[in-house]
């Protein structure tokens, strides 16, 4: 993932294997901490796009080594 990466909330939920409502609650927390921006899709106002911010990318990059180490155990 790169800073500025964009995914619809539905695609993010599907990819994470989470219910849409759970994904929305988690995105609310990430947005409150300025790690993700939620923007409307310009081609379909019913769709919300999640965009990783610079701060979100930094948090992801910082957490990645610990995550990888935990997965390898």
Q: Which residues on adjacent β-strands are paired with residue 39?
A: 49
Q: Does residue 4 surpass a pLDDT of 90?
A: no
pTM: 0.78
Distance separating alpha carbons of residues 26 and 46, to the nearest angstrom? 19
At 51, phi and psi to the nearest 5? -125, 125
pLDDT bracket for residue 1 (50, 70, 90): very low
pLDDT at 18 over 50: yes
Query: Which of 4 and 50 is assigned the larger pLDDT?
Result: 50
Q: What digits encode the pLDDT tens for the residues 22-67?
A: 999 999 999 999 999 999 999 998 999 999 999 998 998 898 888 7
């Amino acid at each position: 993932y790169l800073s500025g990466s964009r995914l619809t909330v539905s695609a993010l939920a599907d990819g994470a294997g989470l219910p849409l409502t759970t994904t929305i609650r988690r995105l609310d927390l990430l947005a409150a901490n300025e790690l993700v921006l939620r923007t409307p899709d310009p081609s379909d106002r019913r769709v919300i796009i999640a965009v990783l911010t610079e701060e979100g990318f930094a948090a992801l990059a910082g957490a990645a080594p610990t995550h990888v180490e935990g997965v390898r155990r």
